[in-house]
Structure 1
């Protein structure tokens, strides 16, 4: 039971970076309107934050796999479980902060970009976790 809680905690942690990246991209127009910054500045800032987040996510995946999940092979299930928590976060964010200004809505093609980001995040998590688990030198061997 204790390990199940760890798996869910790890899944929540792995869902947060992709949630933040997608919400920043989807709400760039809203951020521009609220802060008063020009859209180009917001777009550059979001891009830099997403690149830094991508790099830090790799470190986070290794840390979560090794420290929280004890580097077990069952930890690979978190490469799928994070999607449920991601969906929950998106639903809660949309319910708490609805789009009230029509001009803040992103372009329709943004959904395709989000699908690509989700697929890449899944592959990234799975590959980094597999490398973390299977390339670790075990003390007992």
Structure 2
């Protein structure tokens, strides 16, 4: 049961790593309207945040996978579970913060980036799960031969 909970926490973290930049990218016009920041500034901050999150998140999830998930083949369920949590997070945010202003609709190019991200992200999870789950081989101990 502990393993199941750890696997779900790791899957939630994978979903959050995708969800937060996705929301920032889709809500550029809403952020512009609410904060009066320039759209170029918001886009730059979004890309910088996404890069920092990918680097930090990759390191953190690698260590969590290595420490919590102990090299089991069930780690690969995270490739499916993250998407379920992404749908859940998206539904909750869309329910709590509906689009009330027509000018807040995202541009079509953001959708193309998201489609590309949704295609590539499972491979990213697979790589982290594979590398984090790899068992370290024990060093061969040299034994002294006594005559």
TM-score clears 0.5: yes
* Deviations 1:87-108 (CA, angstroms, capped at 9, x unpaired): 0000101010111111111123
* Match in the other structure for 2:24: 24
* Match in the other structure for 2:52: 52
SS in structure 2 opposite 1:37? coil
Matches of 1:95 and 1:53, distance apart in 2: 25
Once the two structures are TM-superposed, the CA of residue 138 in structure 1 deviates from its matched residue by 4.2
* Match in the other structure for 2:35: 35
SS in structure 2 opposite 1:98? coil
CA-based RMSD of the aligned residues comes to: 1.7
Establish whether residue 73 from structure 1 lines up as the match of residue 99 from structure 2: no
Which runs of 5 or more residues in structure 2 are unaligned? 141-147
Kept after mapping to 2: 8 A contact 1:10/1:69: no
SS in structure 1 opposite 2:108? coil
* Match in the other structure for 2:136: 137
Q: TM-score, normalised by structure 2?
A: 0.87
Establish whether residue 116 from structure 1 lines up as the match of residue 128 from structure 2: no
The more displaced of 53-62 and 25-34 is: 53-62
Matches of 2:130 and 2:77, distance apart in 1: 11
Matches of 1:90 and 1:14, distance apart in 2: 14
* Deviations 1:44-92 (CA, angstroms, capped at 9, x unpaired): 1111101111112211220221122223222121122110001000010
* Match in the other structure for 1:128: 128
* Match in the other structure for 1:95: 95
Residues paired across the two proteins, number = 140
Once the two structures are TM-superposed, the CA of residue 140 in structure 1 deviates from its matched residue by 9.0
Please list every run of at least 4 consecutive aligned residues from structure 1 whose deviation after the TM superposition is greater than 4 angstroms: 138-141
Q: In terms of Rg, which structure is larger?
A: 2
